[in-house]
A and B are shown apart, each in its own frame.
Chain A
Amino acid sequence: MPVYMGRPGREDSRVSTATLPKPAPAPPTDAPATRLWRWMRWWMPVVIGALLLGATSFLVNLSSVQERGEAHDQLVIDTQWVRQSLQFQLEREAEALELIASDFRTGAVGTSALEPRLRVFLRRGRETLAAALFEAGHPAPLLDVRDQSAQGIDAFPGISPEVLEAAMARARRQSDGTFSAPFAATWGPGLVLVVPAGLGPSTGAQRYLAAAFSLERLLEEMVPWSFAQGHEVTLSDVTGTVRARRASAGAGRGIYTHQAPLDLPGAAMVLRTNSVKGPPDWIASVLRGGVIALAFVLFWSLWALWRDVQRRVSAEHRLRDEVAFRRAMGDSAVIGLRARDMDGRVTFANPAFCRMVGLPEEALVGQAPPMPYWTPERMDEYQQRVDQVLSGQASAAPYETVFQRADGTRFPVVIYDAPLKDADGRQAGWMSSILDVTEQKRAEEYQRQQQERLQTAARLTTMGEMASSLAHELNQPLGAITSYLAGSLNLLEKADAPREEIAQALAKAGAQAQRAGQVIRRVHEFVRKQEPKRVPVDVGALLEDCRALIDLQARRDGVRVSVAVEPGLPPVYGDPVLLEQVVLNLTRNGIDAMSGLPAERRRLDIHASRLGAWVRIAVRDHGCGIDGSLADQVFSPFFTTKSEGMGMGLSICRSIVELHDGRLNFRSLAEGTEFQLQLPPGQ
């Protein structure tokens, strides 16, 4: 399952939070299947691990047992083989000695020939140390032949007489060759074979042929070297006393042992083998330990993995919550949100921004400048801003501009840019909040218009009041005059008109006419009091002061304004407020004249320059110009081409300019109109 951790970067600018899948609804927690699944997810690894551990231990154990069994079997076989060899060897030697004894008894072999026969007998094996001929009643042998390999070993003298006698006694009883029990002689453990050899010719005493065997040599000779290397081999008597031992490879471990009875005539021994091979246990233990350790490691890693998965799941869940939360925030925001990467490419746009510019999210995300919502006439401005923002030079202050909807309508916006940091704290782009200030602007504009209307109304009210009082003032004398005249006429119709009185009445009428004249004069004087003040005005500063208001007018209509002031212009003398009014009126007219034009033609040029000794301020628009037939009406009061106009602007402007002894005129150009305000230099 993918985990969305990445922030929109340069490489994967399209992978943004905007393209995140909608978080799936949380699965119902009470579904039994889910509970089973959760249980299984929890316990399955444990169960499997336990099974694995059990199976492995069993296998290891089994193999160990098997190995031990095999080794033991081998030992049994080998031991039996050794036993057999020993038994055969001893039995064959017993037979050989019996043959000699028999020959000796019968006399086929004389006493003199006995010795060579015995030497031949002794050569049969190294284990036979010596052979001798005994006669009952004589502890010393009649003949003692020693094997060459046993020179220096006093075979028979080293044997205790009791042992020999016991063996002889048993041989005599059984009348057959018999072995003595193993004994310890001076030269080591030994065994004696005694065979009755008839009666002494002279003494009539029983004679015996005896052979002394060294058990150690027997083991050395008869146990194969390879077997001896791996095993300790011992021969014990029936009491369990070890009589001979071959342990060329060291003592046995007592793990693999076997004993086999070695039955010889007259003697019983036990052959015991004990393998020096250590038990396979240590390997098995290591193996088993390894397996257990591995299983534990497996468990631990499973647990770690499980914990990690849990953590991841939980982190993912939190992340999803967070993403949903952020998404809800972004979606519900009324403010447009837009993220850009370090190349200026849009990586995210919230619904409010999409609504604002009238484009679907897909059309915005991935877009690089120029953006579809840029208005064509402001491309340079936007690009400049983008460069500023991307180079980090942009100020944190809100930035005000105009965007364009998909349908071409424009709307003013305020943009706040903030750096966007990725998980490592590196800047990955920019996040901007975009505020549609149409309503605000509209409200401001509305308020301004209201203000203007109010002022106009106030002005009109004042004018109306003035007119009303003027009318009243004039009505009085005029009414009186007409009354005097009507009365006089009435009287004149009569034959006897009172001439004196009529003359008086007419004089009074004349006086009233005078009075009316005075009213008029008073009004004129009142107006003269409103004459403008005259101070030196710097034209550059004047235009600078107007600039903010001109820009306000221009911005609303998307008009570009250029102001050029020729350096070193002389000051003009006049009322700066009135002159500002004239300039603003001209710029307003110019801007209004271009309202229906394509954006790139909406340019207003203001140029202040010298005209002889005079100063000229030219306001030039690129609108449709003034129709020739209307040219002479332009300055007349109540002439207007605007639906909302009063038609007073230019008329008042001209009055103001004439008050300043200046001139206001215009000329139509190939494209647009230029109004010129010409002012004389001050005195």
Chain B
Amino acid sequence: MIHIVDDEEALRDSLAWLLRSRELSSRPYASGEAFLAHARSPLAATAAPGCVLLDVRMDGMSGVELFERLLAERLCPAWPVVFLTGHGDVPMAVEALKLGAFDFVEKPFNDNSLVDRLLAALDESRRRLGEAQESARREERLGSLTAREREVLDLVVEGHYNKVIADRLGIAMRTVEVYRARIFEKMGVKSAVELARMLGDREHP
């Protein structure tokens, strides 16, 4: 789903037409405020892949303002934002890129290359969604560990031998081995290396 935010009706309509011709579904918003309202609503299918095509210059809330609001409120993080810029707005778009926008397209644009960019944005959206799912699953598994298991897990990830872990925690080495096996099972990994890789991507809280 591509969310087109532009105050120009003709542009929204023509872009929708163009996207439809490439068999992409789209949804038009006449203003930044309208999109923000949608993004905040619980009905927003933020778990579905999507992207936002945002006109920089609009009456009311500008494209950049809207983008900053989305970032601030962590709304629809999985939807990359592609800016549409007119003449003279390039510096503004560059600023937006630095803030984390996916791309920008200068008007007048080559329509099919615009569509290609949007497709790329959709791919990015899917990737973000997958990543988010993975992360969620990991958090869930971590959550299933007991406190003692978490302690052992941290030491395992740090790469200590069982004997060291046993000494540190003041338990028997045999007990460590039991914890270890149970952690591997709960986290769905087969080795410490796999476990470290899984947790390495995770941001430390």
Residues of B contacting A468 with CB < 8 Å? 87-88
Residues of A contacting B11 with CB < 8 Å? 476, 479-480, 483
Residues of B contacting A484 with CB < 8 Å? 14, 17-18
Answer whether residue B57 sits at the interface, using C-beta atoms and an 8 A cutoff.
Answer: yes
Do B86 and A471 touch across chains, with their CB atoms under 8 A apart?
A: yes
Q: Which of A472, A475, A508 contacts B14 (CB 8 A)?
A: A508
User: For A467, A482, A501, A512, which residue has the most chain B Cβ atoms within 10 angstroms?
Assistant: A482
A476-B10, A484-B14, A487-B17 known; A471 and B111 CB under 8 Å?
A: no
Contacts across chains A and B counted by CB atoms under 8 Å: 76
Q: How far is the CA of A634 from the CA of B192 in the complex (A)?
A: 82
Answer whether residue A335 sits at the interface, using C-beta atoms and an 8 A cutoff.
Answer: no
Q: How far is the CA of A472 from the CA of B21 in the complex (A)?
A: 26
A475-B86, A487-B17 known; A482 and B10 CB under 8 Å?
A: no
Residue of B nearest to A476 (CB): B8
Q: Which of B8, B20, B86 contacts A487 (CB 8 A)?
A: B20
Do B13 and A480 touch across chains, with their CB atoms under 8 A apart?
A: yes
Residue of A nearest to B22 (CB): A490
Main secondary structure of the interface of A (DSSP, over half): helix
Nearest CB of A to B75, in Å: 27
Q: How far is the CA of A491 from the CA of B111 in the complex (A)?
A: 13
Answer whether residue A477 sits at the interface, using C-beta atoms and an 8 A cutoff.
Answer: yes
Q: How far is the CA of A478 from the CA of B109 in the complex (A)?
A: 9
Answer whether residue A193 sits at the interface, using C-beta atoms and an 8 A cutoff.
Answer: no
Answer whether residue A515 sits at the interface, using C-beta atoms and an 8 A cutoff.
Answer: yes
Nearest CB of A to B191, in Å: 50
Residue of A nearest to B13 (CB): A508
For residues 1 through 57 of chain B, which have their beta carbon under 8 Å from a beta carbon of chain A?
8, 10-11, 13-15, 17-22, 57
Do B10 and A487 touch across chains, with their CB atoms under 8 A apart?
A: no
Interface flags for B94-112 (1: CB within 8 Å of A; 0: not) read: 0000000000000111111
Q: How far is the CA of A512 from the CA of B17 in the complex (A)?
A: 14
Nearest CB of A to B84, in Å: 8
For residues 66 through 103 of chain B, which have their beta carbon under 8 Å from a beta carbon of chain A?
86-88
Nearest CB of A to B121, in Å: 17
Do A486 and B18 touch across chains, with their CB atoms under 8 A apart?
A: yes
Residues of A contacting B57 with CB < 8 Å? 472
For residues 266 through 288 of chain A, which have their beta carbon under 8 Å from a beta carbon of chain B?
none
Nearest CB of B to A503, in Å: 12
Q: Which of B18, B86, B88 contacts A483 (CB 8 A)?
A: B18
Q: How far is the CA of A598 from the CA of B108 in the complex (A)?
A: 56
A482-B108, A482-B111, A483-B111 known; A490 and B18 CB under 8 Å?
A: yes
Answer whether residue A481 sits at the interface, using C-beta atoms and an 8 A cutoff.
Answer: yes
User: For A482, A486, A511, which residue has the most chain B Cβ atoms within 10 angstroms?
Assistant: A486
Nearest CB of A to B95, in Å: 18
Do A477 and B86 touch across chains, with their CB atoms under 8 A apart?
A: no
User: For B8, B88, B108, which residue has the most chain A Cβ atoms within 10 angstroms?
Assistant: B108
Answer whether residue A488 sits at the interface, using C-beta atoms and an 8 A cutoff.
Answer: yes
Do A478 and B108 touch across chains, with their CB atoms under 8 A apart?
A: yes
For residues 126 through 144 of chain B, which have their beta carbon under 8 Å from a beta carbon of chain A?
none
Nearest CB of A to B81, in Å: 18
Q: How far is the CA of A489 from the CA of B111 in the complex (A)?
A: 11
Do B18 and A475 touch across chains, with their CB atoms under 8 A apart?
A: no
Answer whether residue A386 sits at the interface, using C-beta atoms and an 8 A cutoff.
Answer: no
Residue of A nearest to B7 (CB): A476
Do A483 and B15 touch across chains, with their CB atoms under 8 A apart?
A: yes
User: For A481, A487, A515, which residue has the most chain B Cβ atoms within 10 angstroms?
Assistant: A487
Answer whether residue A505 sits at the interface, using C-beta atoms and an 8 A cutoff.
Answer: yes
Residues of B contacting A471 with CB < 8 Å? 86-88
Do B17 and A483 touch across chains, with their CB atoms under 8 A apart?
A: yes
User: For B18, B21, B57, B111, which residue has the most chain A Cβ atoms within 10 angstroms?
Assistant: B21
Residues in A lying within 8 Å of B, measured CB to CB: 467-468, 471-472, 475-491, 501, 505, 508-509, 511-512, 515
A480-B11, A482-B109 provided; 7 other pairs, C-beta below 8 A? A471-B88, A480-B10, A482-B108, A483-B11, A488-B21, A491-B21, A508-B14
Residues in B lying within 8 Å of A, measured CB to CB: 8, 10-11, 13-15, 17-22, 57, 86-88, 107-112
Q: Can you identify 26 A-B contacts, CB atoms within 8 angstroms? A: A468-B87, A471-B86, A471-B87, A471-B88, A472-B57, A472-B87, A475-B86, A475-B107, A475-B108, A480-B11, A482-B14, A482-B110, A483-B15, A483-B17, A483-B111, A485-B111, A486-B18, A487-B14, A487-B19, A488-B21, A489-B21, A490-B22, A508-B17, A509-B14, A512-B10, A515-B10
For the complex of A and B, 9 pairs with smallest distance between CB atoms? A486-B111, A483-B14, A490-B21, A487-B18, A471-B87, A487-B21, A480-B10, A480-B14, A487-B17
